Amino acid sequence: MSSYPSLRLRRLRKSKEIRDILSETHINLNKLIMPIFIDDNLKSKEEIKSMPGIYRYSENELIDLVKLYEDIGIKSVLLFGIPKVKDNLGSEAYNPNGIVQRSIRKIKEETNLVVMADLCMCEYTDHGHCGIVRDGTVDNDKTLGYYQKIAKTYAESGVDVVAPSGMMDGQVLAIREILDKEGFNDIMIMAYSAKYASSLYGPFRDAAYSAPSFGDRKTYQMNFSNSREAIREIEEDILEGADIVMVKPALFYLDIVKEARRLFDLPLAAYSVSAEYSMLINGSKQRYFDLDSIIKESIMSIFRAGADLVISYFTEYIAKNREIFIS
């Protein structure tokens, strides 16, 4: 086996052109998903203070926004709704005419975008937890019936992908059963399969007004010290009928992305979450690094680890500056 001086790996990096043609990983805009916050309380868009450059949008701005996304090459969006009224049952989450349901219908009528809708209850409950609370804890099995109600209204509205994020045991099976029962066999489920109880969700909770009013979510979101458990969660979701599985967050959990890619053949998504976005934005403002370079490196790292799809708040920025990011 040859080695230095006959082996010189620097030959592979001698110019930008050489580096480009030998790049193993690329950013593909088709594989990026843009989250959208639709707020039923707004008349015009409102910047999220903890996520500079990301907004809550009013319903009347939605179509112009998604048509812009389609024009600049974005293929898919992930919807999050903020209702006018919250209650202990999160009833607006399964309102057939709720903010997400109306948004799904409008987007499908006006564009060819792939519409994914997050399915959870934390934005809709007055206690901020992801399901039905009984005696101070989330009742897993009671919650599943409510998830079915939400999934049914999403399907009736024309959604392409239902994305359950609540981390209830059996949520994928419950949703698959109701979709199939109601004749929506072709609607996909993108399961938040390995969703960790992470400190990186703070800006999202600000964006969606979804912080829990008591306790935390550690009894249903995953322990961040565990990796084998994540594989069990992913495997269970596959057995229950998931079409796409997900690891969330992305950057702190690339080991999980890589192991999931090694073990499973399903499409694999990774969610680059709100604090990952905010850290990079704020770091660039402090001139710790160049924003374009750090976005490219971070997104590339997620694809390199094995993700097929990346949910990123930078998707719009990448699409608008595709000459920088897309090779």
Q: Catalytic residue at 195?
A: yes
Looking at the whole model, is its pTM more than 0.85? yes
Q: Is residue 70 part of a domain?
A: yes
Phi, psi of 171 (to 5 degrees): -65, -40
- Which CATH number belongs to the domain containing residue 239 in this structure? 3.20.20.70
**Per-residue pLDDT, 219:** 86
| Catalytic-role residue among 195, 218, 285, 320 | 195
Q: Is residue 21 part of a domain?
A: no
**Per-residue pLDDT, 212:** 80
Q: Does residue 1 have a pLDDT over 70?
A: no
Q: Is residue 10 part of a domain?
A: no
For residue 94, the enclosing domain spans: 27-325
Handedness of CA 9, 15, 17, 23 (dihedral sign): positive
DSSP 8-state class, residue 223: P
Q: Is residue 16 part of a domain?
A: no
Q: Is residue 131 part of a domain?
A: yes
Q: Are 318 and 292 in contact (CB under 8 A)?
A: no
Structure tokens at 228: 């084998």
**Per-residue pLDDT, 207:** 82
Q: How far apart are CA 130 and CA 139, in angstroms?
A: 10
Q: How far apart are CA 59 and CA 246, in angstroms?
A: 28
Q: What is the number of structural domains in the chain?
A: 1
Q: Is residue 1 part of a domain?
A: no
pLDDT, one tens digit per residue, over 186-238 is: 999 999 999 999 999 999 888 877 888 777 888 888 999 999 999 999 999 99
- Region 19-26: what's the mean pLDDT? 94
Q: Catalytic residue at 75?
A: no
**Per-residue pLDDT, 200:** 93
| Catalytic-role residue among 31, 75, 86, 248 | 248
DSSP 8-state class, residue 134: E
**% of the chain residues with pLDDT over 90:** 89
pLDDT band of residue 72 (cuts 50, 70, 90) is: very high
Do the strands 133-134 and 137-138 form a parallel or antiparallel pair, or are they unpaired? antiparallel
DSSP 237-262: HHHHT-SEEEEESSGGGHHHHHHHHH
- Region 18-30: what's the mean pLDDT? 95
Q: Is residue 18 part of a domain?
A: no
Q: Does residue 69 have a pLDDT over 90?
A: yes
Q: Using CB atoms within 10 Å of the CB of residue 267, give its burial: 0 to 12 exposed, 13 to 18 middle, 19+ buried.
A: middle
**Per-residue pLDDT, 96:** 97
pLDDT, one tens digit per residue, over 288-297 is: 999 999 999 9
- Region 48-52: what's the mean pLDDT? 96
**Per-residue pLDDT, 94:** 97
Q: Is residue 183 part of a domain?
A: yes
Q: How far apart are CA 267 and CA 67, in angstroms?
A: 26
- The 10 Å Cβ neighbour count of residue 322 is 14
pLDDT, one tens digit per residue, over 123-159 is: 999 898 888 999 889 899 999 999 999 999 999 999 9
